[in-house]
Amino acid sequence: MLYVQDPTYTNSYSLHEALVGVCSGANSGKGAYAFVSRAGADIFLGDVEVKGMLERGSYQLIVGIDQITTTSTIERLVEYQDMYSSLNVSAFLHNSMNSLFHPKISFFSDNNGCGSLVIGSGNLTTGGLRKNREVFAVVSLSQQELVNIEAYWNDWVTKSANYLKPLTDSEVLRRVAANTVRARTWKEIIVPEGVPVDIDELPSDSESTEESIEWNYQDDNLVLFAEIPKSGNRWNQANFDVTTFENFFGATAGDNSQRILLRYVVSDRILGNIEIRPSVSVKSQNYRFELEAAAGLDYPANGRPIGIFVRLSPRMFIYKLFMPDDDKYDEILDWMNANWNDRGDRMKRIIVEAGSVASILNQTPIHSFLVAH
């Protein structure tokens, strides 16, 4: 099946969700990717279904270190290897000056001896897995097709043994340290308007190495202002009505294979952990997501917490919680009261374009993630 991942396409299906879906029934897998970022490693390897596969079986991952992969990424991959003995990650280290290590592929086997191939344009980065415009395919494999692919893969791995290095190899660490320095230097380059840019000087795939950029938004991105109900003693399990659940968050009631990606805005240009949330719906018609930012906080005695969620692409968001004692709370609540057109006894949920509420967002840390024009 062919899929398009596109932040502006309503029926977009992400590479992340495709990999998760295959891993849910797999007992082992192997893959190779040109670029990996720290956040991309968390999105993929941190998912509960991938963890389940690693507990049942194994996954061999070969990562490129030609450009995007940095020291921080390698450190994170080492942590995952320490966490799971069944995870084997190698770096592909070569000295060819006129070629890149550039694959984007995984294949998996299941308990029936069959398998699945996931192949396309996306890397293991936030952009490649969720936000970039990518095309990929999920291909079902018969037992014989899986045997053939496995044999071909193993032959390539054997003949590439001289290029496959442990993540802690000194030359690997030197190469990714150079990538880290290059990324910081590139971030500081400013090209004046009208001055031509040498395409050969652009990073491969034009993919930024500054991960927070992948969490930026524009004026036409949709924003949800939502009062959060108490819901007993676990209000961090934020409940939403089915319309908001499906039309804004992009979830499908009853389909828990979908993944909502959330990231809490801590302060200007500072983000919290990546929160990978299955879209949970229950018989009581409650549709909820756990919010890490609310964990451990008491529900206010007066007033309701307000969450502002900015949709970056289907099922991918940054958000900020505002409590009644926050300086900005009263202004936000006044705006919601003035723009709420439903019954007064219902939780207020208002969806607008970011540009139409710039006066509110501009005075919050959310504004720091607005793409400058």
pLDDT band at 286 (very low <50, low <70, confident <90, very high): low
Averaged over 175-180, what is the pLDDT? 88
DSSP string covering 3-61, please? EEE-TT-TT---HHHHHHHHHTTEEEEEEEES-B-HHHHHHHHTSHHHHHHHHHSEEEE
Give the Cα separation of 221 and 203 in Å (integer): 26
The model's pLDDT over 193-247, given as tens digits with 9 standing for 90+, comes to 444 433 333 333 333 334 678 899 999 999 999 999 987 778 898 888 888 988 9
Helices (H), 194-260: 242-243
Q: What is the pLDDT of residue 185?
A: 54
Q: Does domain 216-369 have CATH number 2.40.330.30?
A: yes
In this predicted structure, the answer to whether residue 300 has a pLDDT above a threshold of 70 is yes
CB under 8 A, 24+ apart: contacts of 323-328: 323/297, 324/300, 325/300, 328/360, 328/363, 328/364
Q: What type of residue is 222? A: L
Give the Cα separation of 214 and 312 in Å (integer): 9
The model's pLDDT over 111-124, given as tens digits with 9 standing for 90+, comes to 999 999 999 999 99
In this predicted structure, the answer to whether residue 254 has a pLDDT above a threshold of 80 is no
Q: What is the pLDDT of residue 60?
A: 98
Give the Cα separation of 21 and 259 in Å (integer): 10
Q: What is the pLDDT of residue 201?
A: 38
In this predicted structure, the answer to whether residue 279 has a pLDDT above a threshold of 90 is no
Q: What is the pLDDT of residue 252?
A: 81
Task: Label residues 189-207 b or e (16+ Cβ within 10 Å = b).
Answer: eeeeeeeeeeeeeeeebeb
In this predicted structure, the answer to whether residue 110 has a pLDDT above a threshold of 70 is yes
Q: Percent of the chain having pLDDT more than 70?
A: 88
Q: Spell out the domain ranges in the chain.
A: 2-185, 216-369
Q: What is the pLDDT of residue 20?
A: 95
pLDDT band at 106 (very low <50, low <70, confident <90, very high): very high
Residues 6+ apart with CB under 8 A from 194: none
In this predicted structure, the answer to whether residue 83 has a pLDDT above a threshold of 50 is yes
CB 353 within 8 A of CB 361: no
Q: What is the pLDDT of residue 243?
A: 87
In this predicted structure, the answer to whether residue 93 has a pLDDT above a threshold of 60 is yes
| CA 13, chain centre distance (Å) | 13
Residue 129 to residues 16, 105, 132, 148, 352: CA-CA distances in angstroms?
A: 5, 12, 8, 27, 26
Tokens 């949800």 locate to: 224
Q: What is the pLDDT of residue 373?
A: 59
Do 2-185 and 216-369 share a fold? no
Q: What is the pLDDT of residue 125?
A: 95
The model's pLDDT over 319-355, given as tens digits with 9 standing for 90+, comes to 999 999 999 999 999 999 999 988 877 899 999 999 9
Give strand ranges (E) for the chain. Answer: 2-5, 26-33, 58-64, 87-92, 104-110, 115-120, 134-141, 164-166, 222-227, 237-240, 259-267, 270-278, 280-281, 287-290, 306-313, 316-322, 349-353
pLDDT band at 298 (very low <50, low <70, confident <90, very high): very high
pLDDT band at 283 (very low <50, low <70, confident <90, very high): low
Tokens 């550039």 locate to: 102
75: its two tokens: 């450190």
Averaged over 50-73, what is the pLDDT? 95
In this predicted structure, the answer to whether residue 47 has a pLDDT above a threshold of 70 is yes
Give the Cα separation of 99 and 101 in Å (integer): 7
Q: What is the pLDDT of residue 271?
A: 92
3 state SS of 230: coil
CB 288 within 8 A of CB 299: no
Q: What is the pLDDT of residue 28?
A: 97
In this predicted structure, the answer to whether residue 76 has a pLDDT above a threshold of 60 is yes
Give the Cα separation of 278 and 324 in Å (integer): 29
Q: Does domain 2-185 have CATH number 2.60.120.20?
A: no
3 state SS of 162: helix
User: Residue 281's closest CA among 258, 262, 307, 309?
Assistant: 258
